[in-house]
Chain A
Amino acid sequence: MNLAQTIIIGVRNLRLHKVRSTLTMLGMIFGVGAVIAMLSIGEGARWEILQQIKLLGTENITIRSVKPPKKTRRAEETEGERWVLRYGLRRKDVSHIEAVCPGIDLVIPMRDVRKDVWYADRRMDARVVGTTPLYASVLNLNIHQGRFFYDYDMTKNARVCVIGAEVAERLFGFKEPLGEYLKIGDQWYFVIGILENRASAKIGTQAMTAYDVNKDIYIPLTSAFSRFGTLSITSTAGAHEALDVELDEIIVHMKDTEFVEKNALLIKSILAKRHEDEDYEIVVPMELLRQKQKTQRTFNIVMISIAAISLLVGGIGIMNIMLANVTERTREIGIRRAVGARQSDIIKQFLTETVVLSGSGGLIGIIVGIIGAKIVDIFAGLTTIVSLYFPLVAFTISVAIGIIFGMYPARKAAFMDPIQALRYE
C-alpha cells in the first residue's frame, strides 16, 4: 500500500465522522494558532528592542542633568543671595571624562532649550539642541538633504541649523527649507540641512525615552552658548525659577561595547567626586536593553509554555479520539489483518489518519494564528511580525504531534490479536 492510497483511505475514514474530526482538529487549530501568535508577538518585541538599540546606540552612555532633590534646593533659596539654581553637568566634566576613561571614541556634549521657532507666519514649539558635529553620526541620524554642521561652524559660532523632518514639514510645507532663514527665539538661523524622517520608538522606560528627533532643531554648541547662554527662566504655577545649566546631556561614545560596563562605573565615580549633589543621572542603554531583553525572554517563555500546553491538550484530544476510533474499528482491523495487512500496514494507516488530522488542524491553525497576530497588532498595539519560518515550524510541530500522539493508538490497533479482532462485536 503506497502513501497516496494510505492518505486517501485516511481522509475517507476521517470524513465518516465529520463532526468528531472537526472537534478534534479544533484542539490543534487553537494550539498551533497560539504558537504562531506568540511567536509573532515575541518577534515583534524583539524587533522593537532592536529599533531602540539602533536609536540609542549600545556603545553609548548617556549622562543627563537632573534637578537636585528639593530639600537641598530649598536650603539654597533661603539664603536669598543665590536665587539662581545652578546644577547639572559642566563642560569641565566632558574634558575630565575624556581624559580619564579608556576606550572612548567621542564625548558629545549637548545643551537643549525649548524655543518657539518661526518661519514667516508659522510657529512651532521645538527642542533646540546645541551640540557638536559628530552628534549625528553617534546617534545614527541620517541627513536627508544638505549637511550637518562642521567644526568650522563651531569655531565661527555660526547661526546655522539642521532641522528634523517634521519641523521642515510644519514650518515650510511644500517649500524648500534649504537656504531659508528661520527664527529661533529672537534670532535668525540659516537652514543647512534636513534630517531623514525617522520612525520613533514608541515605547521605552522613562530614563530611556528617546526624543522624537523629527521635531528637533540642531545648532552648533558654541552658538547655543553664545546666543542662549546657560541661564533659563521657567515659570511654574506662578513662581519663577531661574536655572543655570551648562550642559543638559553628555553622550559618551565607546569604541566598542566591551568598554561600556567598565566606563559606566568609572564615570559614576568621577561625577560623584566632582558634584556635591546628585544632579545627574547615568543611563546605560545597553544595560536597559539587556534588562528588557531578559524580561522579554521570560515573557516569551511563559507564552510559549502556554502555547505548548494547548498543543499538548490538542494532542491528548487526538489520542483520545484515535483510541475510540481504534476500538470502534476493531473488526475492520481484524479483516485487514486476515486478508494480509502486516502490523506495520495497520500502524501506517492509523498514523496517517492522525497526521492528516493534526496536520490539517495545523494548517488551519497557521491561518488562525496569522489572523490572531494581526488582531493583536491592530487592537492591542503590540508590534507583531510573522516570519516566514513560523508556518514551517508550526506545521512540523503539528505533524510531530500527530506522530507522537498517534503512535500509541496505532500500535494498539496493530498488535491486536486478529482472531479476537474479527470476533469483536
Chain B
Amino acid sequence: MPEVVVELCGIRRVFREQGSSLEVHAVDGIDLKIAKGEFLAIMGASGSGKSTLLHILGCLDRPTEGKYLLDGEDVSILNDDRLSQLRNTKIGFIFQTFNLIPQLNVIENVELPLLYSGQPIDQKRCIEVITAVGLEDRISFLPNRISGGEMQRVAIARALVNNPTLLVADEPTGNLDSKSSQDIMHIFEELHKTGRTIVVVTHEEEIARRAERIMHFSDGKIVREEKGFS
C-alpha cells in the first residue's frame, strides 16, 4: 500500500442560512483516502457539493464535522493562520476562472505563493515552472495579453511553484475551448507521471476519464467509484 496523503473520516459540511433553521448538508459524511501520486477525479452535477469538498481538501474551508488528515496532520482543528500556512506549503490550487491577479505579470503571479512563504523569492524556481508549462516566452506579459489556455497554464505554474503535496483543480477546463482543455489535461497527465497527487473536480466525463480513479458525487455523498483510463 503506497503512502496515504489525504485521509478523510466522516467529513460533513453544513451551511446554515442566517436567521433560518434551514440546514444544507453540502458534504454529508465522506470517507476517502488518497494515496501519494494518485490522480483522482470527482464528478457530479452542480450543487452536488463537490466544490465544497474540494475547498475542504484545499484547506480553504473547514469541515463542520469529521477528521481530515493531510500528510498525517489533522487539518480540521487548525486555526486560520496555520491553514494559510498549509495552503502555502502543501496545496496548489487551480481554479476554473484562473484567478490570476490582473495587475501582475506572468512571473509575478507565479511568485505570489513564495511571497507569503517567509523565504526569499527563488526566481530560478519560478522560471523553471513557467518553462515546464511552456510559457517561458510570456514571462513579463500581463494576464489580459495572453489566451485563456495560457492563463490556466500560468495558474498551474503558480500552483506548482511551492512544490505542493496536493494539487487541487476546480473545473480547470470549464472556461476553455476543447483544444486548450486537451493541453491542460495533458499537463495534468504529465504531472501525474512525475508522481504528483492530483484531485480534479469536473462535470465533463471526457476530462474525468483521464484520471486514475473517478468518484461520482451526488447530494454530498460518494455514490459510485470507478477506474479511469490512465
Give the one of A1, A337, A339, A345 with max B CB within 10 A. A339
Chain A interface, number of residues (Cβ within 8 angstroms): 22
Interface residues of B in 57-104 (CB under 8 A from A): 58, 60-61, 80-81, 84-85, 87-89, 93, 95, 99-101, 103
**B158 engages A339 (CB within 8 Å):** yes
**B99 engages A16 (CB within 8 Å):** no
**B112 engages A339 (CB within 8 Å):** yes
> Chain A residue with minimal CB distance to B118?
A1
Contact for A338 among B80, B85, B99, B115, CB less than 8 A: B99
Interface residues of A in 72-131 (CB under 8 A from B): none
Q: A340-B87, A422-B99 are in contact. Are A335 and B112 (CB under 8 A)?
A: yes
Q: Give A1 to B88 CA distance when docked, in angstroms.
A: 13
**B115 engages A5 (CB within 8 Å):** yes
> Chain A residue with minimal CB distance to B120?
A2
Interface residues of B in 15-71 (CB under 8 A from A): 55, 58, 60-61
Chain B interface, number of residues (Cβ within 8 angstroms): 24
Q: Give A5 to B115 CA distance when docked, in angstroms.
A: 9
Does A12 interact with chain B (Cβ within 8 Å)? yes
A334-351 interface code vs B (CB 8 A; 1 in, 0 out): 111111111111000000
Does B116 interact with chain A (Cβ within 8 Å)? yes
**A342 engages B115 (CB within 8 Å):** no
Q: A419-B60, A419-B61 are in contact. Are A340 and B101 (CB under 8 A)?
A: no
Q: Give A331 to B58 CA distance when docked, in angstroms.
A: 17
Does B147 interact with chain A (Cβ within 8 Å)? no
Q: Give A12 to B81 CA distance when docked, in angstroms.
A: 26
Please give the distance in Å from A75's CB to the nearest CB on chain B. Answer: 93
Contact for A336 among B60, B61, B112, B117, CB less than 8 A: B112
Please give the distance in Å from B161's CB to the nearest CB on chain A. Answer: 9
Q: Give A336 to B99 CA distance when docked, in angstroms.
A: 10
Does A359 interact with chain B (Cβ within 8 Å)? no
Q: A16-B103, A419-B55, A422-B95 are in contact. Are A342 and B60 (CB under 8 A)?
A: no
**B81 engages A340 (CB within 8 Å):** no
Does A418 interact with chain B (Cβ within 8 Å)? yes
**A342 engages B112 (CB within 8 Å):** no
Q: Give A340 to B99 CA distance when docked, in angstroms.
A: 14
**B81 engages A335 (CB within 8 Å):** no
Q: Determine the chain A residues whose CB is within 8 A of the CB of B93 once the complex forms.
A: 338-339
A33-66 interface code vs B (CB 8 A; 1 in, 0 out): 0000000000000000000000000000000000
**A338 engages B103 (CB within 8 Å):** no
**B60 engages A344 (CB within 8 Å):** no
Interface residues of A in 284-333 (CB under 8 A from B): 331-332
Q: Give A320 to B204 CA distance when docked, in angstroms.
A: 44
Contact for A340 among B95, B100, B117, CB less than 8 A: B117
Q: Determine the chain B residues whose CB is within 8 A of the CB of A422 once the complex forms.
A: 60, 95, 99
Does B113 interact with chain A (Cβ within 8 Å)? yes
**B84 engages A341 (CB within 8 Å):** yes
Q: Determine the chain B residues whose CB is within 8 A of the CB of A339 once the complex forms.
A: 87-88, 93, 112-113, 116, 158
Q: Determine the chain A residues whose CB is within 8 A of the CB of B99 once the complex forms.
A: 331, 334-335, 338, 422
**A340 engages B103 (CB within 8 Å):** no
**B87 engages A338 (CB within 8 Å):** yes
Give the one of A12, A345, A418 with max B CB within 10 A. A418
> Chain B residue with minimal CB distance to A338?
B93
Does A13 interact with chain B (Cβ within 8 Å)? yes
**B89 engages A340 (CB within 8 Å):** yes
Q: Determine the chain B residues whose CB is within 8 A of the CB of A12 once the complex forms.
A: 103
Q: Give A336 to B101 CA distance when docked, in angstroms.
A: 9
> Chain A residue with minimal CB distance to B80?
A343
Q: Determine the chain B residues whose CB is within 8 A of the CB of A13 once the complex forms.
A: 103
Q: Determine the chain B residues whose CB is within 8 A of the CB of A344 once the complex forms.
A: 81
Q: Determine the chain A residues whose CB is within 8 A of the CB of B113 once the complex forms.
A: 339-340
New A-B contacts (11) at CB < 8 Å, excluding given A335-B101, A340-B84: A332-B101, A339-B93, A339-B116, A340-B85, A340-B87, A340-B88, A340-B116, A340-B162, A342-B84, A345-B116, A422-B99
Sample (25) of A-B pairs whose CB atoms are under 8 Å apart: A1-B115, A12-B103, A16-B103, A331-B99, A334-B99, A335-B100, A337-B60, A337-B84, A338-B58, A339-B93, A339-B113, A339-B116, A339-B158, A340-B88, A340-B89, A340-B113, A340-B162, A341-B84, A341-B115, A341-B116, A342-B80, A345-B84, A345-B116, A419-B55, A422-B60
Q: Which residues of B contact A (CB under 8 A)?
A: 55, 58, 60-61, 80-81, 84-85, 87-89, 93, 95, 99-101, 103, 112-113, 115-117, 158, 162
Q: Which residues of A contact B (CB under 8 A)?
A: 1, 5, 12-13, 16, 331-332, 334-345, 418-419, 422
The 7 closest A-B pairs by CB, nearest first: A340-B88, A339-B113, A342-B84, A340-B116, A340-B87, A335-B99, A341-B116
